[in-house]
Amino acid sequence: MSDRHLTTVAGVEVDTRHFIGGRRVASAGTFPDHSPIDGALLGDIARGGAAEAEAAVAAAKAAFPAWAATSRAERARILHAVADGVEKRLEDLAQVETHDNGALLRSHRRGVMPRVAHNFRFFADWLLSLDHEDFETRGHTNHVSWDPAGPCVLITPWNAPLMLATWKVAPALAAGDTVVLKPAEWSPLTASLLADIAAEAGLPDGVLNVVQGYGAEIGDALTSHPDVRRISFTGSVPTARRIAASAAANLTPLSLELGGKSPLLVFADADLDLAVDLAVEQYDNAGQVCLAATRFLVEASVAEEFTRRFTERAARLVQGDPRDEATDIGPNIHPRQLEKIDGFVQRAVEAGARAVIGGHRGDGQCYAPTLLTDVAQGSEIVQEEVFGPVLTLQTFADEAEAVALANDTRFGLAATVATGSRERAERVTAQLVAGTVWVNCFFVRDLQAPFGGARHSGVGREGGNWSFDFYCDVKNTVTAPKGWDRKGSVEHG
């Protein structure tokens, strides 16, 4: 292996080539991958295009019949072996991902990478229990089964690269599908390590392929390929539109988890300390979380006290190097993202918004945690996803106004409600347009629950049976109660 295809990140060697059909494959061109921590070049990554897309889909197609025919028990065993490999390399994965996307090292060690292993274990175990009770129709027996669909293209984002990739990879592999994974070009390194881990775990060649590059070059070639049977994408609405148009010619089924502009509704009867805790949590991962409740909607009678407590708590947050255990907020992923965040804030201030805290860049690629008030419901800062540590605060007079404000965007990914009344929680949550609603909590995510968004926040649901419904062709077989002759053929008449 040529050293020029290896890069070392935090003492961990990472292959910068594609992984196709069980082999490492170089490309004629590369693209640079820089760390958001200090701008250092982490590596020159193989830059794939149509040729690499064709090779990866061909490898997935060739591997599909054997993998689809592999018993559930054997598929589950291999997925558990992948999870074992993740756990053995947990520190390597945590270090590499922190350098690659700037998220907190302590979070990667304690939560994110253990969750990566759990993703594989959960879907391996769910596969073994996947069943639907037979039912009768006028004496005929209905039997539901899940048939593997074929090669899948999975396109994943940069904000939680390996966790969000394995939310897709694990159920697709469990379902008996083969996979072409394209990670985001701003954070590709842990996907390469995953390919190594999967191969070492015994996953057959071609079952998992990893290709790197830009969406316009390799992404379009993947999503328009006629041999692809499923496409799952997490990312922005404009990219989703392009993917949907690309897939339309082949009627390829899509699962799209897109942006959010989620509300946090704080009612006067809420535990305000709990509400503030939930509010400060929205700065997690430097605000680069699609589910984040970036719009605070606070009952007017407690808005002043809520704001006072929030600013006191936010002032204690430590922003800086994500490798430091004391750091609460790290850098944003890329200079372009930093420019985008600052542009949103400066336009909002010019339009009359007031920065209660923040409103400016920090050191390096950090953006200061920001809370904006005096914002109009129809303004850009309230309606569009910023994807940075920027929150807004508006007030409401009653439940009806709270719900109206909460639902008044084109998104519908999530919502969070803080209230001391069970009855109010039931009334309000029933009216909110969202794929997930949290009451007096945030980011409690169980893989057996459906996950996805409404409106422009997405299409489809994944998790538990919903994942297998998407990654499989669900079949119903109806059998007559009698009519078999002694030779085993069906009698007619």
Distance CA 65, CA 178 (A): 9
**What is the span of the domain harbouring residue 426?**
263-439
Are 250 and 214 within one domain? yes
Q: Is the predicted pLDDT of residue 2 greater than 90, yes or no?
A: no
Within a domain: 473: no
pLDDT at 486: 54
**What is the per-residue pLDDT across 34-92, written as a single tens digit (0 to 9) for each?**
999 999 999 999 999 999 999 999 999 999 999 999 999 999 999 999 999 999 999 99
Give burial (CB, 10 Å; 0-12/13-18/19+) of 103. buried
Contacts of 4 (CB under 8 A, 6+ apart): none
Q: Is residue 46 part of a domain?
A: yes
Instruction: Specify the residue for token string 């569009």.
Output: 384
Q: Would you state the pLDDT for residue 487? A: 57
pLDDT for residue 93 is more than 90 = yes
- Whether residues 248 and 291 share a domain: the answer is no
- Looking at the structure, do residues 420 and 277 belong to the same domain, yes or no? yes
Reply yes or no on whether the pLDDT at 305 is more than 80: yes
Residue 50: predicted pLDDT: 97
Looking at the structure, tell me whether residues 243 and 268 fall in a common domain: no
Question: Model confidence at 483, in pLDDT bands (50, 70, 90)?
Answer: confident
Instruction: Decide if 374 contacts 394 (C-beta within 8 A).
Output: no
Same domain (yes/no): 185, 304? no
Q: What is the mean pLDDT of the chain?
A: 96
Q: Is residue 203 part of a domain?
A: yes
Q: What is the pLDDT of residue 454?
A: 96
81 plus 98 within the same structural domain:
yes
Q: Total domain count for the chain?
A: 2
- In this predicted structure, what is the pLDDT of residue 4? 84
Are 120 and 192 in a shared domain? yes
Instruction: Tell me the backbone φ, ψ of residue 211, rounded to 5 degrees.
Output: -125, 145
Q: In the structure encoding, which two tokens stand for residue 313, read together?
A: 């708590």
pLDDT in tens, 239-248: 999 999 999 9
Evaluate if residue 493 carries a pLDDT over 80: no
Strand, coil or helix: 384: coil
> For 153-190, how does the pLDDT look when each residue is reduced to its tens digit (9 = 90+)?
999 999 999 999 999 999 999 999 999 999 999 999 99
Domain end among 224, 258, 292: 258
Asked if 396 and 407 count as a contact pair (C-beta separation under 8 A), the reply is: no
Confidence at residue 1, expressed as pLDDT on a 0 to 100 scale: 44
Whether residue 481 has pLDDT greater than 50: yes
Same domain for 157 and 272, yes or no, is no
Residue 439, amino acid: V
Stretch 15-31: mean pLDDT: 97
Residues taking part in catalysis: 257, 290
Please check whether residues 205 and 321 belong to one and the same domain.
Answer: no
Q: How far apart are CA 32 and CA 37, in angstroms?
A: 15
What are the backbone angles phi and psi of residue 298, rounded to the nearest 5°? -120, 135
